[in-house]
């Protein structure tokens, strides 16, 4: 299967569909850091740049089997201004349709936030679906939540699958819907938190980890991350995790520019979600190590590692970029690349957080891909 990915970001589609043997013939991305990720991870695949210039791309009708993209969601998001198609970013959905009309792929996969369903009273989304119909596509759409596909993040997104030609709507529906749901044979309800596919500790490696709604920005069930946004970990709108700390344990903190640190003696040890044990007298040591004789330091951006603090019953820390990659289903350090002439180990965290927050969830895309492949094989 040959596909063209637009508004590519850090390219969840390619990561998801590589096991299927599918190949991207080109990308479309303009943000500098995601462009650098694409160039680093896919050096032989061209990035055509702005979607607005698609008429200039060397992509001919019939040269691709599938067009995939998640056009910018800010104009549809309930957290945005809700200008819908009146916003130039929302209008990229129409440009996406223009590209589909030009290259005529058999399959289309489009993703956006749930707010697109209610934008302009539902008329924006209705216009998008209607245009697909006029282009000859049968369409199905469904809201899918990433936490049901193996990652511990609440991330509800609208997915539109379209198939060209007579009977296209039936093929699209078979991709997004199981026979049980088409018969309205819904599964029995479950208790809160029961049968969640994974929990956050699998991403961050903490043995004592509980997400508690003590911070106003924390909502939802225990052990499931809030929805990741492009501001995750990069400013006032970022979302911390609040950890419940047992009497003798505390999670490390992170600074605005680096990963968690712990202190052993006079050495500062860089660590990925390493548990620290507090001893009487506010002395700390690494789990399993001999007690230290120095006072522990809580790191924060304003004081470096010079200000000692007494351990509290609750600890707040930000997710690291690697943990955010795991929440989206990417391989570890997928976004850790050489950047602006600096080596990999000096790649800044800020653009990595943004790229993760703007990406699609890899396991959801893989599920859609496998079901499209099954439809293709059944022809």
Q: Catalytic residue positions?
A: 73
Beta strands at 107-112 and 137-145: parallel, antiparallel or unpaired: unpaired
**Helix, strand, coil percentages in the chain from 3-state DSSP, rounded to 5:** 30, 20, 50
CA–CA separation, 288 and 286 (whole Å): 6
Mind spelling out the 3-state secondary structure of 122-174? HHHHHHHHHHHHHCCEEEEEEEEEHHHHCCCECCEEEEEEEEECCCHHHHHHH
In angstroms, the first-to-last Cα distance of the chain is 14
- Alpha-carbon distance values, 359 to 34, 43, 297, 319, 364 (Å): 10, 20, 35, 16, 12
Q: Which residues contact 195 (CB under 8 A, 6 or more apart)?
A: none
CA–CA separation, 348 and 337 (whole Å): 9
**Where are any strands of DSSP class E within the chain?**
2-6, 23-28, 66-69, 107-112, 137-145, 156-164, 241-244, 249-250, 261-264, 267-270, 276-279, 283-286, 314-317
**Where are any strands of DSSP class E within 177-251?**
241-244, 249-250
User: How is residue 280 written in tokens?
Assistant: 């009487």
């Amino acid at each position: 299967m040959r596909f063209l990915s637009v508004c590519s970001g850090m390219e969840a589609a390619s990561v998801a569909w590589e096991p299927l043997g599918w190949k991207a013939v080109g990308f479309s991305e303009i943000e500098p850091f995601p462009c650098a990720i694409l160039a680093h991870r896919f050096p032989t695949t061209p990035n055509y740049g702005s979607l607005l210039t698609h008429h200039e791309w060397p992509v001919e009708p019939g040269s691709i089997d599938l067009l995939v993209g998640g056009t910018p969601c800010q104009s549809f998001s309930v957290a945005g201004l809700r200008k819908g198609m009146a916003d130039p970013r929302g209008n990229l959905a129409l440009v996406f349709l223009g590209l589909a009309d030009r290259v005529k792929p058999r399959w289309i996969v489009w993703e956006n936030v749930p707010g697109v369903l209610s934008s302009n009273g539902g008329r924006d989304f209705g216009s998008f679906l209607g245009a697909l119909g006029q282009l000859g596509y049968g369409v199905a759409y469904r809201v899918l939540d990433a936490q049901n596909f193996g990652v511990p993040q609440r991330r509800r997104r609208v997915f539109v699958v379209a198939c060209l030609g007579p009977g296209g709507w039936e093929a699209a529906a078979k991709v997004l819907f199981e026979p049980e749901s088409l018969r309205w044979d819904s599964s029995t309800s479950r208790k809160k938190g029961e049968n969640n596919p994974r929990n956050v500790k699998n991403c961050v490696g903490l043995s004592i980890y509980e997400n508690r709604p003590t911070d106003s920005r924390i909502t939802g069930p225990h052990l499931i991350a809030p929805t990741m946004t492009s501001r995750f970990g990069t400013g006032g709108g970022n979302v911390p995790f609040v950890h419940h700390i047992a009497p003798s344990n505390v999670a490390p903190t992170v600074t605005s520019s680096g990963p968690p640190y712990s202190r052993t003696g006079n050495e500062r040890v860089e660590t990925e979600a390493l548990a620290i044990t507090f001893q009487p007298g506010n002395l700390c040591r690494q789990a399993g190590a001999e007690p230290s004789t120095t006072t522990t330091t809580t790191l924060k951006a304003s004081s470096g590692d010079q200000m000692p603090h007494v351990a509290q019953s609750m600890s707040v820390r930000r997710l690291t970029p690697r943990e955010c990659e795991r929440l989206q289903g990417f391989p570890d350090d997928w976004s850790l690349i050489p950047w602006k002439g600096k080596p990999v180990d000096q790649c800044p965290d800020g653009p990595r957080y943004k790229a993760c927050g703007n990406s699609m969830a890899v396991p959801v895309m893989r599920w859609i891909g496998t079901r499209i492949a099954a439809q293709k094989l059944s022809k």
